[in-house]
């Protein structure tokens, strides 16, 4: 919505919703984040939509604060709808964690690769993990023409010694398939934010590459320290991901996992609020928050 990925798409969405709102329809944008560097045109378009009565359900507190400071109204703080995926319902706690051998799932994002990050960042990480107690599985999350994860993943596989105990997933899993598979992980390291969210929705600590200034707010939903890694840092330090894993270990992986699981019912309930607008009265919709 902030125009940082595809400006035309962001403006088109706002224009369609604005037209619907001006015709007297109830409209909403739900489950979105907001960059600290939005396009001016996107800010203007979203502000017009809010003034016309469009409801804006923002998925984490950092984006909510950015929008508030921009003077945009009709905001509601929620959580990402992806937190509703999985076997648990809002308000329910997860089953016991997997107690098998420590396993780290690593996503080599095609989006991160397009920003010129060296694959040495990942070889450094994997070699560090394998020197410890972990096994490693590399998993794609996006497979498409523009920025497929399989392209850098295949290149990584070609440069790592085949003797290393690394498994590679080649297929694109469904979201439900990811949530089932991810329960075998101890930690997830990912360049795709929604893979991190799916991990956190299962009580698995995730280190997320902050490609557009939006990942840090996800941790605030759980009262956790920021475990994201700035893209700019990865460009200059091949140890960037490794250092963040070490930071997580120092905080305590089990401690972070327990915090995720303890707060997940609250976050799931917040995610369910994305759909409040479907039953919201006009009076409630127009009440400032």
pLDDT of 180 reads 87
In 8-70, DSSP assigns E strands to 28-32, 55-58
Rg (CA), the chain: 20
Residue carrying structure tokens 């706690």: 93
Rounded distance between C-alpha atoms, residue 77 and residue 62, angstroms: 10
What are residue 47's phi and psi, to 5 degrees? -65, -40
pLDDT surpasses 70 at 150: yes
Rounded distance between C-alpha atoms, residue 194 and residue 211, angstroms: 12
Residue carrying structure tokens 């469009």: 54
- 11-45 in b/e burial notation, b at 16+ Cβ within 10 A? bebbeebbebbeeeeebbbbbbbbbeebeeebbeb
Q: Which two tokens stand for residue 143?
A: 């497979």
The answer to whether the beta carbons of residues 61 and 220 sit under 8 Å apart is yes
Look up residue 93 and give its DSSP letter: P
Q: Is 278 exposed, middle or buried (0-12, 13-18, 19+ CB in 10 A)?
A: exposed
CA 170 to chain centre: 21
The answer to whether the beta carbons of residues 83 and 272 sit under 8 Å apart is no
- Tens-digit pLDDT profile for residues 126-146: 999 999 889 999 999 999 988
Lowest mean pLDDT across 50-59, 117-126, 161-170, 215-224:
161-170
H/E element, 277: none
Closest CA to 9 of 49, 57, 41, 50: 41
- Tens-digit pLDDT profile for residues 74-93: 999 999 999 998 655 555 55
Which residues, at least 6 apart from 181, have a Cβ–Cβ distance to it below 8 Å? 139, 169, 173
Q: What is the dihedral angle through the alpha carbons of 158, 160, 163, 164, rounded to the nearest 10 degrees?
A: -130
- Tens-digit pLDDT profile for residues 91-117: 555 655 555 679 999 999 999 998 889
The answer to whether the beta carbons of residues 109 and 150 sit under 8 Å apart is no
The rounded percent of the chain whose pLDDT value lies above 90 is 72
pLDDT of 281 reads 62
């Amino acid at each position: 919505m902030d125009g940082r990925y595809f400006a035309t798409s962001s403006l088109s969405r706002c224009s369609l919703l604005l037209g619907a709102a001006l015709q007297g329809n109830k409209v909403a944008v739900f489950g979105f984040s907001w960059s600290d560097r939005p396009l001016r045109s996107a800010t203007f378009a979203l502000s017009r939509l809010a003034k016309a009565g469009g409801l804006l359900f923002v998925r984490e507190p950092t984006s909510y604060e950015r929008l508030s400071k921009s003077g945009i109204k009709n905001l509601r703080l929620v959580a990402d709808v992806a937190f509703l995926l999985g076997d648990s319902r809002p308000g329910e706690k997860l089953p016991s964690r997997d107690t098998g051998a420590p396993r780290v799932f690593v996503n080599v994002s095609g989006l991160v690769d397009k920003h010129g990050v060296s694959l040495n960042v990942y070889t450094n990480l994997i070699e560090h993990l394998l020197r410890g107690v972990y096994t490693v599985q590399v998993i794609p999350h996006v497979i498409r023409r523009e920025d497929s994860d399989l392209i850098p993943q295949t290149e990584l596989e070609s440069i790592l010694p085949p003797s290393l105990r690394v498994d590679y997933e080649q297929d694109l899993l469904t979201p439900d398939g990811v949530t089932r598979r991810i329960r075998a992980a101890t930690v997830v390291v990912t360049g795709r934010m929604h893979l991190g969210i799916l991990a956190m929705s299962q009580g698995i600590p995730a280190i997320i590459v902050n490609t557009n200034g939006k990942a840090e707010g996800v941790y605030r939903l759980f009262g956790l320290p920021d475990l994201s890694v700035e893209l700019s840092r990865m460009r200059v330090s091949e140890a960037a991901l490794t250092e963040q894993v070490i930071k997580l270990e120092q905080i305590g992986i089990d401690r972070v996992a327990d915090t995720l699981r303890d707060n997940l019912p609250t976050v799931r309930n917040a995610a369910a609020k994305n759909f409040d607008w479907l039953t919201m009265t006009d009076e409630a919709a127009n009440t400032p928050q």
